[in-house]
Structure 1
Amino acid sequence: MTTRDEPVRRPTTLRRVLIPLALAQFICSFAGSNMNVMISDISTDLGTTVQGVQVAITIFLLVMAALMIPGGKLTDKFGRKRCFTVGLVVYAVGALLSAAAPNLGVLIIGNSILEGVGTALLIPPVYILTTLLFTEITSRARAFGAISAMGGIGAATGPLIGGLITSAISWRAAFVFQALVIVVIVWLARSITDPLPADRDRPFDTGGAMLSAGGLVLVVAGILAADENAWLMVGLIATGAVVLVWFFRATRAKERAGVEALLSTALFHVRTSNLGLVTQNTQWLLLTGISFVVSAYLQVVRGYDAIETGVVFTAETAGLLVASLAAGRLAKRCAQRTLVLAGFVVVIAGIAVLLTMVRGAATAWAFVPGLLLIGLGLGVMLTPSVNIVQSAFAEHLQGEISGLSRSVSNLGSSLGAAIAGTVLVAGITATPERSYALAMIVLAAAGTVGFVAAALLPRVPADPVTPTTRPER
């Protein structure tokens, strides 16, 4: 007698399942970086500014981060496969609306809101389905590695592919491309079967979802307001912090009362996982921040078009691809902590090279060494950071930690675009070289924070937390 999920556990079928899941992570990461090379084209076509495009990019990344945990919870209530499909459809509608946008407002609705909501619905099922379908530890690690690598590759190739499409056709065609990829994913995902039934009676913490999303939005909005009004910035960030504290206090109160909350506070009781989340957040902050700063500088200051900007980023893409392909072999020879530490060192070195070689250099070749190093460093540590976090918990907690992990990573992306972008945009017209240098210094400081977090990781991984295991504090 066979069970319902036995067919999807055969190796060939599992590979077919992995393709649409990895491709979904690729297109969502691609969407977070491909707009960077369209800054000049979009601002000219829609009659907006560099800051307007920055706001659109940041809101997209922020919506993903703010709704990722609620999106993960909805998978239990409505089913992982259903949420995955609905998210894909919402994303595709947003992409098509963005392609037809007559102004910045409509672009924000299509790209920032609808694509962001779609991503928040479809990404948690990617990681939860992977956990449920790949039951063998080694195969699951490989699957997570493939998905994480596709995410990094999507973010790294976004500028190149986006630049090619924008130069050959228009920036609008890049959104049509995204919609077409979504159609392919929907078709490939037909064979995916949800191993667990949906639980319609499962409660959903609406209040917690509103508080967590509101707090994150206020904090990032405060960062975006830094170059407009210092008092507004402080007020928004402080209010956001208060709302987030309110969220965590309300969550603990619900747990004490035996009510299911949006997020289990037990996830924050494991030191290894907490440090791993910091490294994840920092990695995506660096990837998105560097991409935005270099792209804006090339287009606004150097006058490069979309394709020229995309070609420059080929160096970063090549570095990330090479490191990702070698990740499996490196994992056998080196501890995950060592790989993360080495990755941060290489990325910080790449930022230093971008600072020293680019200033005063007239040729685009000056960007290549630094971007290559950054790609190599990020490629080395993206997958180990995910494995560190996921491996800190037992199987029954994989769904929750997956949602938290994706939320923290996407929050890093939004912070990268907001912080580094704000520093650059504030003086890109009056003092472009100084603004570029300051933005890079801020990113190097963020990389240092990630390095310190990685250095504090335990040298010997602890056993996964289970109901009978006391969390390490």
Structure 2
Amino acid sequence: MNRASTWKPLAVLGTAQFLMVLDASVMNVSISQLVEDFDTEVTTVQAVITLYTLVMAAFMLTGGKIGDMFGRRRVFVVGLVVYGVGSGLTAVAPTVGVLALGWSVVEGLGAALVLPALAALVAGSYRGRERAVAYGVVGGLAGAGIAVGPLLGGWVTTYLTWRLVFAGEVVLVLAILLLMRWIPPQPAPATRTRLDVPGAVLSAAGLALVVLAVLQSGTWGWVEPRNPPFTVLGFAPTLFVVALGAAVLYAFCAHERRRERRGATPLVSLALFGNRPLRAGLIALFNQNTVLLGLFFVIPLYLQVVQGLNAFETGLRLLPVSVTMLVTSMCGSLLLRVASPRTVVRTGLLVLLAATLWLIAAIRPELAGASFGWAMALLGTGLGLLASQLGNTVQSSVRTSERSEAGGLQYTAQNLGSSLGTALIGAILIGALATSVTARIESDPKVSAAVAQQVGTQVEAGISFVPADQVSAALATHPEVPPQEAATLVDHYRDAQIQGLKSAILACSVITAGALLFTRHVPADRRPSGPGTDAADGGADDATDDAADGGADDAAGDGGTSRSR
């Protein structure tokens, strides 16, 4: 096989990876337009964005297991078809409900089938140094989707319509399907196992409850109730719903252990979590996406709502982070010649931490200028360093027969981080806005006690992140609020918006700093791991591992026998 043919499968798989991340970044720069087109609120659009990544996170393990059952190549194709149907439905969505169905649900389910298969197909198609390069390219193309999304989506949304992006995705899906012949035919799984349906339901329900509670925390309140649909013993329901989700996930773990003891195939083997390099990679992926999607929600929101920028102008402001993330993630595999994955990951986290702290210092009423631009560029550099290593770290830490499960865990961690990033960082933004507004008004002697009490009541009932001009117009309809006090309230609201953004970015700094504590078991060996190498076993070579797996040629095939069934 010549060199060009060697990389043909990567062209198909990399394009699919690009597609999976493209529309999320498009949505983030189109928030204001979506609010206007569907006559809805920012929190509704936030819920739609969160639901998309939540659906992927909730069903990624199931998608990985289905790949084991029916063959990864076949499931990859089916997932692309489902994704294309969802993109087409999103392109013609007449209401925000149909948008959520097409984009968040149908596309999310398609991605849950595509991504675990994609991770396993990349790992199975390349060995040694080529596999490290392949994962660097896949990470780079994910960065390319993030880089192109804001600019392409911003331009199309501003001058045409965001719907064309999703129509274009349908065309791209068709092109990928036509090129599937570049991925060699692969043998069917030796055995067909049954899907662990109760496990799938429990895992999806547990994750959904946790993310739902975090998403609604800005409205419900964490402890003191703000405007929840119900209270529990006089407290906000948020922490109780989180606890319920945790209890359901505990039940999921107990169910999986029972299945393994009976000799049945679990949805995911909990023994994988005893693999320290795998666990470290998953935690890093979770934290990376929590920060990335959190920032890519709150910064575009501020740019559009507060500064009034359109989608294309917002994309231009995000260009530094997009470009540096793309370049760094594409070149990251070259760093393995001089540094270990652990060193690269730790460096990426330190760069990311420095970037978020710089970003807080650079925030002004106008998010512009050299300081803001350089901080965003540094942010992309840190994210790119992480993206270049983590996919290969996860797949290199498991045996050949465990790749599909590892792929499911990999994208579950990523999308759970994305869901919680959008939900948590967005909730922190709204919560800090409410706290800051209340504190500023209560401490201002120019605001009468009656007006301060009225505003406090309104904030407790729920506050939205809206343009200050909209607040001014709303106050003008209240004759009991004197014009001078109304102007003061608007000024406080503007200041509180800046404080809310700083608080949200500070939370990203804390998450990044915490992630450094979990990098101890990221591989410290610069040698590339071969397919199927179990990092915990010290990097045995391919031949040794294939022999340990009974000669199963999963690198070339779809072998779904991850364990004796």
Q: Please, what TM-score do these two structures have when normalized by structure 1?
A: 0.93
Q: Distance in 2 between matches of 1:11 and 1:397?
A: 28
1:359-370 equivalence runs, <5 A: 359-361=364-366, 363=368, 365-370=370-375
2:263 partner SS? coil
2:200 to 185, 209, 219: 209
8 Å CA contact 1:132–1:195 kept in 2: the answer is no
Residue identity opposite 1:449 in structure 2: G
| Structure 2 match to 1:104 | 96
Post-superposition offset of 1:362: 6.0
Q: Does 1:450 align with 2:505?
A: no
1:223-249 Cα shifts (integer Å, max 9, x gaps): 011012232211221111001000011
Post-superposition offset of 1:131: 2.4
1:120-139 equivalence runs, <5 A: 120-134=112-126, 136-139=127-130
Post-superposition offset of 1:86: 1.4
8 Å CA contact 1:37–1:309 kept in 2: the answer is yes
Residue identity opposite 1:87 in structure 2: G
| Structure 1 match to 2:360 | 355
Q: Distance in 1 between matches of 2:317 and 2:87?
A: 26
Residue identity opposite 1:339 in structure 2: V
State which drifts further: 391-400 or 55-64: 391-400
Q: Distance in 1 between matches of 2:14 and 2:130?
A: 14
1:208 partner SS? helix
1:30-429 equivalence runs, <5 A: 30-134=22-126, 136-198=127-189, 201-230=192-221, 231-361=236-366, 363=368, 365-426=370-431, 427=433, 428-429=465-466
1:260 partner SS? coil
1:311-348 Cα shifts (integer Å, max 9, x gaps): 11110111112212331321110111111111011111
8 Å CA contact 2:210–2:245 kept in 1: the answer is yes
Residue identity opposite 1:84 in structure 2: F
1:328 partner SS? helix
Larger Rg computed on CA atoms:
2
| Structure 2 match to 1:22 | 14
Q: Distance in 2 between matches of 1:194 and 1:457?
A: 34
Q: 1:291 to 1:364 in 2, by over 3 A?
A: farther
Post-superposition offset of 1:199: 5.6
2:264 partner SS? coil
Residue identity opposite 2:188 in structure 1: P
Q: Distance in 2 between matches of 1:298 and 1:421?
A: 14
Q: Distance in 2 between matches of 1:457 and 1:355?
A: 29
Q: Please, what TM-score do these two structures have when normalized by structure 2?
A: 0.78
Q: Distance in 2 between matches of 1:156 and 1:362?
A: 19
Post-superposition offset of 1:306: 0.3
1:330-383 Cα shifts (integer Å, max 9, x gaps): 111011111111101111111112111122446355531111001011111212
1:131-181 Cα shifts (integer Å, max 9, x gaps): 2232x2222222222112212321233212211111221121121122222
Q: Distance in 2 between matches of 1:438 and 1:34?
A: 24
Give the number of aligned pairs.
460
Q: Distance in 2 between matches of 1:10 and 1:450?
A: 42
Q: Distance in 1 between matches of 2:211 and 2:190?
A: 34
Q: Distance in 1 between matches of 2:320 and 2:504?
A: 20
State which drifts further: 210-219 or 189-198: 189-198
8 Å CA contact 2:284–2:515 kept in 1: the answer is yes
> Which structure dedicates a bigger proportion of its chain to helix?
1
8 Å CA contact 2:139–2:330 kept in 1: the answer is no
Q: 1:72 to 1:260 in 2, by over 3 A?
A: same
State which drifts further: 176-185 or 338-347: 176-185
State which drifts further: 292-301 or 365-374: 365-374
Q: What is the identity percentage for the equivalent residue pairs of Structure 1 and Structure 2?
A: 35
Q: Distance in 1 between matches of 2:146 and 2:517?
A: 25
1:225 partner SS? helix
Residue identity opposite 1:263 in structure 2: V
Structure 1 gap segments, 5+ residues each: 1-8
2:93 partner SS? coil
1:303 partner SS? coil
Structure 2 gap segments, 5+ residues each: 222-235, 434-464, 467-492, 526-534, 550-565
Post-superposition offset of 1:456: 5.6
Residue identity opposite 1:176 in structure 2: A
Residue identity opposite 1:438 in structure 2: S
Post-superposition offset of 1:294: 0.7
Residue identity opposite 1:206 in structure 2: V
RMSD over equivalenced CA pairs, Å: 2.0
| Structure 1 match to 2:447 | none
Residue identity opposite 1:265 in structure 2: L
1:164-213 Cα shifts (integer Å, max 9, x gaps): 11122112112112222212211222332342314673211111111111
